[in-house]
Amino acid sequence: MYKELKNLDYFCKMGFPEDLSIDLATSISKLSLRNPTILASGILGSSCSLLKRIEDAGAGALTTKTITKNPREGYVNPVFVDLGYGYLNAIGLRNPGADNFSKELSKAKKNIQIPIITSIGGSSIEEFMYVAERMLESGSDALEINLSCPHVEGYGLDIGSDIKLTQQIIKQLKSISSKPLFAKISLHQSRIDILEKYIDAGLDGISAINTVKALAINIKALSPILSNIVGGLSGPCIKPIALAVVYEIYREFPDIPIIGVGGIQSPEDAVEMILVGASAVGIGSAIVRKDLEIFREITRGIGKFMLENGFKSIRELIGYIHRR
Ligand SMILES: Cc1cc2nc3c(=O)[nH]c(=O)nc-3n(C[C@H](O)[C@H](O)[C@H](O)COP(=O)(O)O)c2cc1C
């Protein structure tokens, strides 16, 4: 009865009242999500009003931009290009800095019910600890450490490539809070032996994948398109890469929750990601074309797929292809 009422309330909000017995709720570590869609880090600004719009649009949870200790202006234009088959960006971790963002986060926590995952970046253990402490004080429900941004020297991928340093960062962050700690990884950190070390250090979940390091050239101008030259590739062209990474992580660590990110544009993409092992899906670049309506479209479409294929609970779908 409770489950039915919960779903009735949920589907009325989502505009999908066809079948009340479908359960779209999922969880990642200690976070409970009304549905498996999550805003991926960095795609939208992080003002309180914008975060509220993401909840109203139907997302199950949201991830903030990566926040660093000091404000960062990012790179000069061009920082984003649509390649047709995907997107290339080098924004340069533009963000308002931990002290400014913590005020926005405190405000957001008063108005938003869905879990807020704060993405944190740093170039040292001290920086990660500083940002984490501010975010936890302001009510962040979980932290996601950015080990994978491919275009900012000393951050992201540079940190995530140093296995010992990353283990220390994870251990220290786990020592200050019992809230879930996730790592955002890219293709470059997806080696199972490396992930095992991070999990042993205390990681509660993995968000995979970040953009893939890439470059685009304008031959008419005889120059690179992005001001930073190298950027990160996202969108449809990276979906098969993300699927393979998520598949392998689930195969090796079936108890570690995975947020599958990379090229999710449609309900079918989301179902594929869940079948290979994701407990939830991160939606990034697709928002550029489809706007926030995409959260409802994907949730409704997953529900429809489940209905048509005899699945009652999203949990039955997670990692299904490993059990065939
Ligand atoms: C413009 C832009 C900015 C991004 N900024 C961040 C960021 O600050 N932190 C982060 O962890 N990932 C960042 N990402 C990566 C996305 O969260 C996501 O992992 C990636 O884009 C793949 O998903 P997609 O194909 O759905 O976009 C960014 C991606 C884009 C396109």
Which residue's alpha carbon is nearest to atom 22 within ligand 1?
262
Total Cβ atoms within 10 A of residue 291? 10
* Interatomic CA distance for residues 124 and 289, integer angstroms: 36
For each of the chain's 324 residues, which pLDDT tens digit applies? 234 334 444 444 554 545 568 999 999 999 999 999 999 999 887 788 999 999 999 999 999 999 999 999 999 999 999 999 999 999 999 999 999 999 999 999 999 999 999 999 999 999 999 999 999 999 999 999 999 888 889 999 899 889 999 999 999 999 999 999 999 999 987 899 999 999 999 999 999 999 999 999 999 999 999 999 999 999 999 999 999 999 999 999 999 999 999 999 999 999 999 999 999 999 999 998 889 999 999 999 999 999 999 999 999 999 999 998
Assess whether the C-beta atom of 66 lies below 6 angstroms from ligand 1: yes
3-state SS, residue 17: coil
Distance 281 CA to ligand 1 centre (A): 13
Half-sphere exposure at residue 168, Cβ-oriented, CA atoms within 13 angstroms: 12
- By DSSP bridging, strand 31-33 and strand 26-28 are antiparallel
* Interatomic CA distance for residues 104 and 159, integer angstroms: 27
- Ligand 1 pocket: which of 190, 246, 285 to mutate (most atoms <8 Å of CB)? 285
Which residue's alpha carbon is nearest to atom 5 within ligand 1?
42
CATH 3.20.20.70 fits 2-8+17-319, yes or no: yes
Q: How many residues does the chain have?
A: 324
* Interatomic CA distance for residues 265 and 273, integer angstroms: 11
